[in-house]
Protein backbone atom coordinates (compact mmCIF):
# COMPACT_ATOMS: atom_id res chain seq x y z
CA UNK A 1 0.00 0.00 0.00
CA UNK A 2 1.09 3.54 -0.71
CA UNK A 3 2.21 5.46 2.33
CA UNK A 4 -0.36 8.00 3.50
CA UNK A 5 0.93 11.56 3.75
CA UNK A 6 -1.11 13.97 5.83
CA UNK A 7 -1.91 17.51 4.73
CA UNK A 8 0.18 18.90 7.58
CA UNK A 9 3.24 16.97 6.37
CA UNK A 10 2.70 18.14 2.81
CA UNK A 11 2.52 21.76 3.94
CA UNK A 12 5.59 21.35 6.15
CA UNK A 13 7.66 19.70 3.43
CA UNK A 14 6.54 22.31 0.88
CA UNK A 15 7.47 25.15 3.22
CA UNK A 16 10.84 23.52 3.94
CA UNK A 17 11.52 23.07 0.22
CA UNK A 18 10.72 26.74 -0.46
CA UNK A 19 12.94 27.81 2.43
CA UNK A 20 15.89 25.77 1.15
CA UNK A 21 15.32 27.08 -2.40
CA UNK A 22 15.26 30.66 -1.12
CA UNK A 23 18.48 30.18 0.87
CA UNK A 24 20.20 28.77 -2.21
CA UNK A 25 18.91 31.54 -4.46
CA UNK A 26 19.43 34.41 -1.99
CA UNK A 27 23.11 35.13 -2.91
CA UNK A 28 22.07 35.55 -6.56
CA UNK A 29 19.15 37.77 -5.55
CA UNK A 30 21.39 39.89 -3.32
CA UNK A 31 23.96 40.27 -6.11
CA UNK A 32 21.19 41.37 -8.47
CA UNK A 33 19.86 43.96 -6.03
CA UNK A 34 23.34 45.26 -5.19
CA UNK A 35 24.02 45.86 -8.87
CA UNK A 36 21.37 48.62 -8.80
CA UNK A 37 22.84 50.39 -5.76
CA UNK A 38 25.45 53.09 -5.52
CA UNK A 39 28.82 52.13 -4.07
CA UNK A 40 27.88 53.85 -0.82
CA UNK A 41 24.60 51.97 -0.49
CA UNK A 42 26.31 48.69 -1.41
CA UNK A 43 28.49 48.85 1.73
CA UNK A 44 25.95 50.59 4.00
CA UNK A 45 25.24 49.07 7.40
CA UNK A 46 22.56 47.97 8.00
CA UNK A 47 22.01 47.05 4.36
CA UNK A 48 18.86 48.05 2.53
CA UNK A 49 16.95 45.29 0.77
CA UNK A 50 14.47 47.01 -1.55
CA UNK A 51 14.15 50.57 -0.35
CA UNK A 52 17.15 52.32 -1.86
CA UNK A 53 17.86 54.63 -4.77
CA UNK A 54 17.84 52.36 -7.81
CA UNK A 55 20.34 53.26 -10.52
CA UNK A 56 21.69 51.82 -13.77
CA UNK A 57 25.02 53.64 -13.57
CA UNK A 58 26.89 50.47 -12.64
CA UNK A 59 25.81 48.69 -15.82
CA UNK A 60 26.68 51.75 -17.90
CA UNK A 61 30.14 52.00 -16.32
CA UNK A 62 30.80 48.28 -16.66
CA UNK A 63 29.96 48.31 -20.36
CA UNK A 64 31.98 51.50 -20.89
CA UNK A 65 35.03 50.04 -19.11
CA UNK A 66 34.88 46.51 -20.52
CA UNK A 67 33.66 45.03 -23.79
CA UNK A 68 31.05 42.68 -22.36
CA UNK A 69 30.19 41.03 -25.67
CA UNK A 70 33.84 40.21 -26.35
CA UNK A 71 33.99 38.21 -23.11
CA UNK A 72 30.51 36.80 -23.72
CA UNK A 73 31.40 35.33 -27.11
CA UNK A 74 34.60 33.92 -25.66
CA UNK A 75 32.54 32.11 -23.00
CA UNK A 76 30.11 30.81 -25.62
CA UNK A 77 32.90 29.54 -27.88
CA UNK A 78 34.85 27.92 -25.04
CA UNK A 79 31.80 26.28 -23.44
CA UNK A 80 30.27 24.95 -26.65
CA UNK A 81 33.60 24.01 -28.24
CA UNK A 82 34.84 22.02 -25.24
CA UNK A 83 31.48 20.30 -24.79
CA UNK A 84 31.08 19.26 -28.44
CA UNK A 85 34.64 17.92 -28.66
CA UNK A 86 34.17 16.17 -25.32
CA UNK A 87 30.99 14.48 -26.59
CA UNK A 88 32.76 13.27 -29.73
CA UNK A 89 35.32 11.56 -27.49
CA UNK A 90 33.13 10.46 -24.57
CA UNK A 91 30.29 8.85 -26.58
CA UNK A 92 32.52 6.15 -28.18
CA UNK A 93 34.45 5.74 -24.91
CA UNK A 94 31.27 5.25 -22.88
CA UNK A 95 29.90 2.87 -25.54
CA UNK A 96 33.04 0.73 -25.34
CA UNK A 97 32.94 0.58 -21.54
CA UNK A 98 29.19 -0.12 -21.39
CA UNK A 99 28.85 -2.73 -24.17
CA UNK A 100 32.36 -4.13 -24.60
CA UNK A 101 33.77 -4.12 -21.06
CA UNK A 102 37.11 -5.65 -20.16
CA UNK A 103 38.46 -6.71 -16.75
CA UNK A 104 40.12 -3.25 -16.58
CA UNK A 105 36.99 -1.20 -17.35
CA UNK A 106 36.09 -0.42 -13.73
CA UNK A 107 39.70 0.42 -12.94
CA UNK A 108 39.81 2.86 -15.85
CA UNK A 109 36.55 4.48 -14.75
CA UNK A 110 37.83 4.90 -11.20
CA UNK A 111 41.13 6.27 -12.48
CA UNK A 112 39.29 8.83 -14.62
CA UNK A 113 37.19 9.86 -11.65
CA UNK A 114 40.28 10.13 -9.43
CA UNK A 115 41.70 12.80 -11.76
CA UNK A 116 38.88 15.11 -10.62
CA UNK A 117 40.18 14.82 -7.06
CA UNK A 118 43.56 16.29 -8.01
CA UNK A 119 43.84 19.98 -7.07
CA UNK A 120 44.03 22.02 -10.26
CA UNK A 121 46.91 24.09 -8.90
CA UNK A 122 48.97 20.89 -8.73
CA UNK A 123 49.23 20.75 -12.53
CA UNK A 124 49.12 24.47 -13.26
CA UNK A 125 52.86 24.92 -13.79
CA UNK A 126 53.38 22.05 -16.29
CA UNK A 127 50.24 22.97 -18.24
CA UNK A 128 51.26 26.63 -18.29
CA UNK A 129 54.72 25.72 -19.63
CA UNK A 130 53.22 23.40 -22.28
CA UNK A 131 50.79 26.09 -23.38
CA UNK A 132 53.57 28.69 -23.47
CA UNK A 133 55.76 26.50 -25.66
CA UNK A 134 52.87 25.65 -28.00
CA UNK A 135 51.65 29.23 -28.24
CA UNK A 136 48.27 28.43 -26.68
CA UNK A 137 48.31 31.01 -23.90
CA UNK A 138 45.44 33.49 -24.14
CA UNK A 139 43.77 31.59 -26.98
CA UNK A 140 40.31 30.08 -27.29
CA UNK A 141 41.83 26.87 -28.62
CA UNK A 142 43.91 26.40 -25.49
CA UNK A 143 40.97 26.97 -23.16
CA UNK A 144 38.74 24.67 -25.20
CA UNK A 145 41.32 21.89 -24.83
CA UNK A 146 41.69 22.45 -21.09
CA UNK A 147 37.92 22.61 -20.45
CA UNK A 148 37.38 19.47 -22.50
CA UNK A 149 40.04 17.56 -20.59
CA UNK A 150 38.94 18.58 -17.10
CA UNK A 151 35.27 17.75 -17.81
CA UNK A 152 35.88 14.60 -19.87
CA UNK A 153 35.78 12.20 -16.86
CA UNK A 154 32.36 13.55 -15.87
CA UNK A 155 31.06 13.19 -19.41
CA UNK A 156 32.30 9.61 -19.72
CA UNK A 157 30.85 8.64 -16.35
CA UNK A 158 27.45 10.18 -17.08
CA UNK A 159 27.18 8.66 -20.55
CA UNK A 160 28.42 5.29 -19.28
CA UNK A 161 25.60 5.30 -16.71
CA UNK A 162 22.99 6.12 -19.33
CA UNK A 163 24.29 3.57 -21.84
CA UNK A 164 24.22 0.82 -19.21
CA UNK A 165 20.45 1.30 -18.95
CA UNK A 166 19.96 0.58 -22.67
CA UNK A 167 19.28 -3.12 -23.37
CA UNK A 168 22.16 -4.71 -25.24
CA UNK A 169 19.71 -6.84 -27.22
CA UNK A 170 18.69 -3.76 -29.22
CA UNK A 171 22.25 -3.23 -30.38
CA UNK A 172 22.62 -6.93 -31.16
CA UNK A 173 19.50 -6.75 -33.33
CA UNK A 174 21.00 -3.80 -35.20
CA UNK A 175 24.19 -5.79 -35.81
CA UNK A 176 22.19 -8.72 -37.13
CA UNK A 177 20.52 -6.32 -39.57
CA UNK A 178 23.96 -5.37 -40.88
CA UNK A 179 24.61 -2.14 -38.98
CA UNK A 180 28.27 -1.19 -38.78
CA UNK A 181 29.82 0.05 -35.56
CA UNK A 182 29.51 3.69 -36.64
CA UNK A 183 25.86 3.31 -37.67
CA UNK A 184 25.13 1.43 -34.47
CA UNK A 185 26.39 4.35 -32.37
CA UNK A 186 24.90 7.12 -34.53
CA UNK A 187 21.52 5.67 -35.56
CA UNK A 188 20.66 3.27 -32.73
CA UNK A 189 22.46 4.16 -29.53
CA UNK A 190 22.53 7.95 -29.74
CA UNK A 191 18.77 8.49 -30.38
CA UNK A 192 17.91 6.23 -27.43
CA UNK A 193 20.25 8.14 -25.13
CA UNK A 194 19.16 11.65 -26.18
CA UNK A 195 18.01 12.59 -22.61
CA UNK A 196 21.32 11.50 -21.14
CA UNK A 197 23.38 13.15 -23.86
CA UNK A 198 21.37 16.37 -23.56
CA UNK A 199 21.81 16.54 -19.79
CA UNK A 200 25.53 15.79 -20.15
CA UNK A 201 25.83 18.56 -22.72
CA UNK A 202 23.95 21.09 -20.58
CA UNK A 203 25.83 20.22 -17.39
CA UNK A 204 29.22 20.52 -19.07
CA UNK A 205 28.30 23.83 -20.69
CA UNK A 206 27.49 25.11 -17.20
CA UNK A 207 30.74 23.74 -15.76
CA UNK A 208 32.83 25.25 -18.56
CA UNK A 209 30.98 28.57 -18.32
CA UNK A 210 31.65 28.82 -14.58
CA UNK A 211 35.28 27.67 -14.62
CA UNK A 212 37.46 30.42 -13.17
CA UNK A 213 40.81 28.91 -12.17
CA UNK A 214 42.06 28.01 -15.64
CA UNK A 215 40.57 31.03 -17.37
CA UNK A 216 42.26 33.41 -14.95
CA UNK A 217 45.65 31.71 -15.22
CA UNK A 218 45.79 30.91 -18.94
CA UNK A 219 44.29 34.07 -20.41
CA UNK A 220 44.99 37.79 -20.38
CA UNK A 221 42.63 39.66 -22.70
CA UNK A 222 42.13 38.09 -26.13
CA UNK A 223 40.44 34.86 -25.00
CA UNK A 224 39.28 36.03 -21.57
CA UNK A 225 35.72 34.77 -20.86
CA UNK A 226 33.17 36.21 -18.46
CA UNK A 227 34.88 34.78 -15.37
CA UNK A 228 37.89 36.98 -16.14
CA UNK A 229 35.48 39.82 -16.87
CA UNK A 230 34.16 39.54 -13.30
CA UNK A 231 37.62 39.25 -11.76
CA UNK A 232 38.71 42.48 -13.43
CA UNK A 233 36.58 44.40 -10.93
CA UNK A 234 38.75 43.28 -8.03
CA UNK A 235 41.58 45.79 -7.79
CA UNK A 236 44.36 46.66 -5.29
CA UNK A 237 42.30 49.68 -4.27
CA UNK A 238 39.55 47.37 -3.01
CA UNK A 239 36.34 45.79 -4.18
CA UNK A 240 33.79 47.92 -5.95
CA UNK A 241 30.81 45.92 -4.77
CA UNK A 242 28.12 47.59 -6.87
CA UNK A 243 30.09 47.39 -10.10
CA UNK A 244 31.27 43.87 -9.25
CA UNK A 245 27.65 42.84 -8.70
CA UNK A 246 26.63 44.37 -12.03
CA UNK A 247 29.43 42.50 -13.81
CA UNK A 248 28.47 39.27 -12.03
CA UNK A 249 24.80 39.68 -12.95
CA UNK A 250 25.69 40.23 -16.61
CA UNK A 251 27.96 37.17 -16.54
CA UNK A 252 25.56 34.72 -14.89
CA UNK A 253 22.36 35.88 -16.60
CA UNK A 254 22.85 33.85 -19.83
CA UNK A 255 23.57 30.61 -18.03
CA UNK A 256 20.67 31.10 -15.60
CA UNK A 257 18.32 31.68 -18.53
CA UNK A 258 19.68 28.56 -20.26
CA UNK A 259 19.20 26.51 -17.09
CA UNK A 260 15.68 27.85 -16.60
CA UNK A 261 14.47 26.88 -20.07
CA UNK A 262 16.27 23.53 -20.09
CA UNK A 263 15.54 22.45 -16.51
CA UNK A 264 13.05 19.74 -17.53
CA UNK A 265 15.51 18.21 -19.97
CA UNK A 266 18.32 18.48 -17.42
CA UNK A 267 16.31 16.80 -14.64
CA UNK A 268 15.06 14.14 -17.03
CA UNK A 269 18.60 13.33 -18.08
CA UNK A 270 20.01 13.36 -14.56
CA UNK A 271 17.32 10.91 -13.42
CA UNK A 272 17.56 8.76 -16.56
CA UNK A 273 17.40 5.12 -15.51
CA UNK A 274 16.72 5.94 -11.85
CA UNK A 275 13.05 4.92 -12.04
CA UNK A 276 12.03 1.73 -13.76
Tell which residue, 108, 148, 142, 141, has the closest CA to residue 128.
142
Q: Can you give the pTM of this predicted structure? A: 0.82
Are the C-beta atoms of residues 62 and 228 closer than 8 Å to each other?
A: no
Distance CA 163, CA 200 (A): 12
Tens of pLDDT, residue by residue, the chain (276 residues) = 456 667 888 888 899 999 998 999 899 899 999 989 888 888 888 888 878 888 888 888 888 888 888 899 999 999 999 999 999 999 889 888 888 888 888 888 888 888 888 888 888 999 999 999 999 999 999 999 999 999 999 899 888 888 888 777 777 787 787 777 777 777 777 778 787 888 888 889 988 998 989 998 999 888 889 888 888 777 655 667 888 888 889 988 888 888 787 777 666 656 654 444
Amino acid sequence: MARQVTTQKKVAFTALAWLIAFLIFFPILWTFLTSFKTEGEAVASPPSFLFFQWTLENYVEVQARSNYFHHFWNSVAISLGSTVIGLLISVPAAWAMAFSPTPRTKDVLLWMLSTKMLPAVGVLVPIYIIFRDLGLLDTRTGLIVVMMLINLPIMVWMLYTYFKEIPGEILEAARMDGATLGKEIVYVLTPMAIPGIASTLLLNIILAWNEAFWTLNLTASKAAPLTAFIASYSSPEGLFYAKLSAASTMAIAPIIILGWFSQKQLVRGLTFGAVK
